[in-house]
């Protein structure tokens, strides 16, 4: 089973766990109220028994109210955290785009969604050349220029920022609806730009898990975008 399918199963399990907890509290609340109403209607009760029954019914009401208050506070905290995290991710992306634009016209290059070509573009940007050929290191990697190291680091930082977003959504620490509204279009565009580079890192450099959360988020939001 590939990693994306595994992530989808784990994500579904996390959502199911939250749904099950919510359902449990709803069932306890309405079941207790229903039982009290049934007893009240079908039995002859003295005043003290009615008072006892009402007092008992207030227990699940109190528990339910406390749970709903906790859930609302948790949702508000998640929304605040989502906004803060998204702002930081956007800052990282912008900071590294500035670095790239000092060396290459990255803004103009990424106006379209055409994928970055690892061989024809990225290697040309980052690798040292001698007599028209790339200078190779002993490990088979090209020798990077000082400028090339800055370019490669900036590219990786941008991809890592989207990976960070994917991890936050996957672990439910970032509110997905806020993330989608804020960055859905950026995830769509930039995954298409980086997809060849991601594949290159996995197949040619052995980084099998490279940006898997970024890919998972893109595939998930593509379904949402097309629905």
Is the distance from CB of 100 to CB of 92 less than 8 angstroms? no
Is the distance from CB of 22 to CB of 15 less than 8 angstroms? no
Q: What is the pLDDT of residue 71?
A: 72
| Cα dist from 165 to 4, 96, 110, whole Å | 16, 16, 20
Which residue from 164, 143, 162, 154 is spatially nearest to 109, judged by alpha carbons? 154
Q: pLDDT exceeding 70 applies to what percent of the chain?
A: 82
Q: Per-residue pLDDT tens for 183-197?
A: 999 999 999 999 999
Q: What is the pTM of this model?
A: 0.76
Q: Per-residue pLDDT tens for 3-58?
A: 788 888 877 777 777 777 667 666 766 776 676 666 666 666 666 666 666 666 66
Number of domains making up the chain: 1
Which residue segment(s) compose the domain that 128 sits in?
3-226
Q: Per-residue pLDDT tens for 91-114?
A: 999 999 999 999 999 999 999 889
d(CA 175, CA 79): 6
- Which residue would you say has higher pLDDT here, 79 or 58? 79
Is the distance from CB of 60 to CB of 33 less than 8 angstroms? yes
Cβ-defined contacts of 123-132 (< 8 Å, 24+): 125/151, 126/151, 126/152
């Amino acid at each position: 089973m590939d990693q994306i399918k595994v992530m989808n199963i784990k994500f579904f399990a996390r959502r199911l766990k939250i749904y099950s907890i919510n359902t449990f509290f709803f069932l306890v609340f309405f079941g207790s109220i229903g039982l009290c109403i049934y007893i009240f209607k079908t039995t002859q009760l003295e005043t003290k028994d009615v008072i006892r029954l009402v007092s008992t019914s207030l227990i699940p009401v109190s528990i339910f109210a406390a749970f709903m208050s906790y859930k609302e506070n948790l949702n508000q905290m998640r929304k605040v955290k989502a906004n803060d995290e998204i702002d930081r991710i956007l800052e990282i992306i912008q900071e590294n785009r500035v670095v790239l634009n000092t060396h290459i016209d990255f803004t103009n290059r990424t106006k379209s969604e055409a994928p970055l070509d690892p061989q024809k573009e990225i290697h040309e940007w980052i690798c040292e050349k001698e007599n028209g050929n790339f200078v190779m290191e002993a490990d088979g990697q090209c020798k990077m220029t000082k400028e090339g190291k800055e370019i490669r680091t900036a590219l990786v930082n941008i991809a890592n920022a989207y990976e960070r977003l994917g991890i936050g959504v996957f672990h439910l620490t970032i509110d997905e609806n806020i993330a989608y509204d804020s960055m859905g279009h950026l995830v769509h565009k930039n995954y298409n730009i980086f997809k060849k580079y991601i594949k290159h890192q996995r197949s040619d450099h052995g980084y099998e898990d490279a940006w898997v959360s970024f890919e998972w988020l893109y595939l998930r939001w593509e379904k949402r975008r097309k629905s």
